[in-house]
Amino acid sequence: MSLITTSDALVDICKSLSRADYLTVDTEFMREGTFWPRLCLLQIAGPDDAVAVDPLADSLDLSPLFELLADANIVKVMHAARQDMEIFFHLTGELPHPLFDTQVAAMVCGFGDQVGYEALVAKLTGARLDKSSRFTDWAQRPLSEEQLNYALGDVTYLRPAYEALRDRVEETGRLHWIEEEIALLSDPAIYRIEPAAAWRRLKPKRSEPRYLAVLQAVAAWREREAMERDLPRNRVVRDETLLQIAARPPTDAKALDRVRGLSRGFSNSRLGAGLLDAVAEGRAVPPESAPTAPPKRDLPAGIGPLTDLLKVLLKHKCEEHQVAQRLVANVSDLELIAADDDADVVALKGWRRELFGADALRLKHGKVALAATGTHVRVVPVNGAGDVDALPASEPANNGGKRRRSGRRRKRKDAPATAPEAVDGETA
Ligand SMILES: [Zn+2]
């Protein structure tokens, strides 16, 4: 069993691993009762080696391993990398790079949105992994033989899975389909914790400047407390309590005492004083400097049915092309397309437009339709699309049910089809 617990052994193995083109990487961690996930085991495999490293071992220096993770010449392969990346970022201030996420790659290989590791490995290699150790206590020492076997399986089977996916992605020319997703996971900004932005995750229900200013201040205070004391946010003060405080800001310890959800004695503690300071800080923010809630999108009434129609098209196209829907468009994108032909959404650009966006617009304007044959949905050209085009093409068929008078019809800027246009091909 390869469990690395000494710095010397780690230096040796890292020397060997440094010759690899790619390394598979995984971590086991616990995050119950803490703000920061607690790294309990770190697994890494190259073509010849597979080891588990014990970050809890006394005086084990992990820096040779972190150097490998930062080595730009070695691809780091992870499955569903986000949490692992978050851990490395917190530990080192850097992200493993370059990254290949097999869960992301699987999205363009017909495995759906978020395929699990075991399912992916079973499909690609035929191996059946024993999952029974997954939710065991990874902080205990010594780790059991089963735990270590399970943990190593998370990197050893990742090797053939990676190679199969990489080849498939290359053969199908879909590397650029996943590059954005991987670039997003490699962006430090998504792992950086900004106390000033913490209020957004509380889903404020009101939008008055004073309310939001107090909410921002108390949420930022809680974020800093939670980080410093390494406690889950809700262990410092619960979300509901912060929302309640923003709605009726207490100005002294007595008023704080009356806030529901705070423990007895809280108002006179150091924490209580800090929270009151934050409230005062929030109250002092002039309205024009207060944060603003994200604007509610103003969608035309009645676009629901069209959005649903686009959903069916999306599902059909994604199944046909073996790509996860999430990668192409989400519901909000579909609503924007339903409302506006020139919506600024990725689904109307690049490969996504070819795969889905172009037909979405054709569907919207009655030039293609969805039909079924037996159990299969097909996209079919609409005969006599001229009739359909008699409706103003520039008007989303959903402008609140009011159709403009024909005399005031706007002309489409971008070369509208005045005659029925031949549908170019892409019927399923
Ligand atoms: Zn794992």
Between the CA of 118 and the centroid of ligand 1 the distance, in Å, is 11
Rounded Cα–Cα distance for residues 379 and 389 (Å):
18
Q: How confident is the model at residue 132 (pLDDT cuts 50, 70, 90)?
A: confident
Q: Torsions phi, psi of 55, nearest 5?
A: -70, -10
**Of 146, 130, 148, 190, nearest to 40 (Cα)?**
148
Read off the amino acid at residue 183.
A
Q: Do the Cβ atoms of 159 and 46 come closer than 8 Å? A: no
Between the CA of 187 and the centroid of ligand 1 the distance, in Å, is 22
Mean pLDDT of 223-228: 97
Quick one: pLDDT at residue 12?
97
Tallying the residues shown for the chain, one arrives at 428
Cis peptide before 47 (omega within 30 of 0): no
Quick one: pLDDT at residue 384?
65
Mean pLDDT of 391-401: 41
Rounded Cα–Cα distance for residues 84 and 380 (Å):
45
User: 85, exposed or middle or buried, with CB in 10 Å at 0-12, 13-18, 19+?
Assistant: buried
Between the CA of 218 and the centroid of ligand 1 the distance, in Å, is 36
Q: Do the Cβ atoms of 396 and 406 come closer than 8 Å? A: no
The DSSP-derived string for 384-426 is: THHHHHTS-TTS-TTSTTPPPPGGGPPPPSS---SSPPPP-S-
Between the CA of 133 and the centroid of ligand 1 the distance, in Å, is 10
Q: Which residues, 6 or more positions from 336, have their beta carbon under 8 angstroms from its beta carbon? A: 297, 299, 343, 344, 345
Angle, helix 63-70 to helix 7-17, in steps of 10 degrees: 20
**Of 305, 300, 310, nearest to 368 (Cα)?**
310
Domains in the chain (CATH in brackets) are: 3-190 (3.30.420.10), 205-289 (1.10.150.80), 304-422 (no CATH)
Rounded Cα–Cα distance for residues 369 and 371 (Å):
6
Rounded Cα–Cα distance for residues 133 and 136 (Å):
5
Q: How confident is the model at residue 421 (pLDDT cuts 50, 70, 90)?
A: very low
Between the CA of 67 and the centroid of ligand 1 the distance, in Å, is 21
Between the CA of 191 and the centroid of ligand 1 the distance, in Å, is 20
Between the CA of 253 and the centroid of ligand 1 the distance, in Å, is 47
Between the CA of 26 and the centroid of ligand 1 the distance, in Å, is 5
Beta strands in 200-308 (DSSP E): none
Mean pLDDT of 188-199: 96
Between the CA of 17 and the centroid of ligand 1 the distance, in Å, is 19
Instruction: Tell me: pLDDT of 226 over 90.
Output: yes
* 3 state SS of 149: helix
Between the CA of 53 and the centroid of ligand 1 the distance, in Å, is 13
Question: Which is it for strands 38-45 and 368-373: parallel, antiparallel or unpaired?
Answer: unpaired
Q: Torsions phi, psi of 121, nearest 5?
A: -65, -40
Between the CA of 52 and the centroid of ligand 1 the distance, in Å, is 11
Between the CA of 131 and the centroid of ligand 1 the distance, in Å, is 10
Between the CA of 149 and the centroid of ligand 1 the distance, in Å, is 11
Instruction: Tell me: pLDDT of 351 over 90.
Output: yes
pLDDT digits (tens, 9 = 90+) for 294-335: 777 778 889 999 999 999 999 999 999 999 999 999 999 999
Between the CA of 322 and the centroid of ligand 1 the distance, in Å, is 27
Between the CA of 77 and the centroid of ligand 1 the distance, in Å, is 13
Between the CA of 348 and the centroid of ligand 1 the distance, in Å, is 37
Read off the amino acid at residue 360.
A
How is residue 82 written in tokens?
């986000």
Between the CA of 25 and the centroid of ligand 1 the distance, in Å, is 9
Between the CA of 414 and the centroid of ligand 1 the distance, in Å, is 51
Long-range contacts of 160-167 (CB under 8 A, 24+ apart): 160/124, 160/125, 161/79, 161/102, 161/120, 161/121, 161/124, 161/125, 162/22, 162/24, 162/77, 162/100, 162/102, 164/124, 164/125, 165/102, 165/105, 165/106, 165/109, 165/124, 166/100, 166/105
pLDDT digits (tens, 9 = 90+) for 69-104: 999 999 999 999 999 999 999 999 999 999 999 999
Starting at the earlier edge strand, list the strands of the sheet with 3-4. 3-4, 50-53, 38-45, 22-30, 75-78, 99-101
Residue 45: which H helix or E strand, with range? strand 38-45
Q: Do the Cβ atoms of 49 and 33 come closer than 8 Å? A: no
Percent of the chain at pLDDT > 70 equals: 89
3-state secondary structure 281-304: HHHCCCHHHCCCCCCCCCCCCCCH
pLDDT digits (tens, 9 = 90+) for 151-168: 999 999 999 999 999 999
Between the CA of 28 and the centroid of ligand 1 the distance, in Å, is 5
Between the CA of 39 and the centroid of ligand 1 the distance, in Å, is 11
pLDDT digits (tens, 9 = 90+) for 21-42: 999 999 999 988 999 999 999 9
